[in-house]
Every structure is written in structure tokens, then in C-alpha cells.
């Protein structure tokens, strides 16, 4: 009987060992499941955190795009102002020069600039000689490169200034500058 008991004891010891191994494997499986679950939560958190960061970066980029567009608009306005300033006509010095060249017996009735920056002058004077002196005075100015008579007529009914004339004076490059 002892011999028969021995195999049953070894069967019982084997059963305990198998149960212990099963319990250990079950515990390891549970631990592994908890670890994998924890890792999956960490990844989900990392993904949601990355998505939030990406959204924040996109919002900041959008804000920077708005600032960049506003900066470009301001730069364009400043550039336009600089261009306007660079082509600004200094009328006061131009008109002073025109007044200095106009003699007492010449009256200007109209003057303007045409598209080519030619000064178009209409006026009256006492004689053709006074008109010639006026044209010579304009030619002597550094603001005009060419002075051409476009028309003149003697109108005795106009009183003290019977000569009506038209002149086109080509302005020099510095005519409308300081």
C-alpha cells in the first residue's frame, strides 16, 4: 500500500504544482493586462495631448498669419506714402519762380500743367515786345528747359493789355522740386 500511496502522493504534489503554476500564470496575465491597459491609456493621453498641441499650434499660426497680413498691409501703405513723397510737387517754390519771371506788364489769366508736365500759360500783355521779354525771362529760368509761343493775337478792344498770348514751357527735371 505504501507503494500505491506513493503514486497518489506524487499525483497530489503534481496537482498542487499545476494549480500553483496556473495561479501564477493567471496573476501574470492579469498584471500584463493591467500594464497593457495602462500603456494604452498613456498612448491615448499622449495622442490627445498631441492633438491639443497641434490645435494650439494651428491657432497660433492662424494668429501669426493675421498679424503677417496686417504687417504687409501697413508696409504697403508706408510704401505708397514714400512713393507719394518722392514724386511730390513743391508748388510754392515753382509758383515763386513763375512770379519772379513775370514782369509788371504781363498778366497771367490761366496756367496749368499738362500730362507731360509742360506748363501751359495763357495771359495778356501790353505789346509783343513785352511778350518777347517775358519768354526770354522764362527761358533764363533753370526750371524751364524750353519755352514755345503757342499763339498770340492783338485785340485792341481789351484795353491796356491788347496782346493775348499762349505759351507752353517745358519744365526741367527739377522744376517741381524743392
> Mind listing the pLDDT tens digit for each residue in 33-43?
888 777 776 66
Tell me how far the alpha carbon of residue 90 is from its chain's centroid. Answer: 27
117 in a structural domain: yes
Quick one: 71 and 119 in the same domain?
Answer: no
> Mind listing the pLDDT tens digit for each residue in 33-88?
888 777 776 666 666 677 777 787 788 787 777 778 888 888 888 877 776 665 55
Number of independent structural domains in the chain:
2
Q: Are 98 and 83 in contact (CB under 8 A)?
A: no
Query: Which of 124, 120, 94 is closest to 107 using CA atoms?
Result: 124
Of 37 and 23, the one with more pLDDT: 23
- Integer angstrom CA distances of residue 135 from 130, 131, 154: 9, 6, 17
177 in a structural domain: no
The domain in which residue 165 lies consists of: 91-171
DSSP conformation class of 163: E
Quick one: 116 and 144 in the same domain?
Answer: yes
19 in a structural domain: yes
Instruction: Indicate the pLDDT class of residue 174, thresholds 50, 70 and 90.
Output: low
CATH of the domain at 149: 3.30.1360.100
Quick one: 3 and 53 in the same domain?
Answer: yes
The strand pairing partners of 148, in sequence order, are 168
The predicted pLDDT at position 135 comes to 92
Quick one: 57 and 23 in the same domain?
Answer: yes
- Half-sphere exposure at residue 7, Cβ-oriented, CA atoms within 13 angstroms: 3
In angstroms, what is the C-alpha Rg of the chain?
51
Amino acid at each position: 500500500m505504501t507503494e500505491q500511496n506513493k503514486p497518489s502522493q506524487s499525483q497530489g504534489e503534481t496537482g498542487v504544482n499545476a494549480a500553483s503554476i496556473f495561479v501564477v500564470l493567471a496573476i501574470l496575465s492579469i498584471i500584463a493586462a493591467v500594464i497593457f491597459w495602462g500603456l494604452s491609456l498613456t498612448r491615448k493621453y499622449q495622442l490627445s495631448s498631441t492633438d491639443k498641441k497641434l490645435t494650439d499650434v494651428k491657432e497660433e499660426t492662424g494668429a501669426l498669419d493675421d498679424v503677417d497680413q496686417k504687417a504687409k498691409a501697413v508696409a504697403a501703405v508706408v510704401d505708397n506714402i514714400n512713393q507719394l513723397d518722392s514724386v511730390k510737387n513743391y508748388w510754392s517754390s515753382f509758383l515763386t519762380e513763375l512770379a519772379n519771371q513775370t514782369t509788371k506788364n504781363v498778366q497771367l489769366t490761366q496756367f496749368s500743367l499738362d500730362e507731360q508736365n509742360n506748363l501751359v500759360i495763357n495771359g495778356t500783355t501790353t505789346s509783343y515786345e513785352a511778350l518777347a521779354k517775358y519768354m526770354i525771362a522764362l527761358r533764363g529760368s533753370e526750371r524751364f528747359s524750353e519755352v514755345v509761343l503757342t499763339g498770340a493775337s492783338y485785340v485792341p478792344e481789351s484795353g491796356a493789355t491788347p496782346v493775348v498770348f499762349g505759351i507752353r514751357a517745358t519744365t526741367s527735371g527739377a522744376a517741381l522740386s524743392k
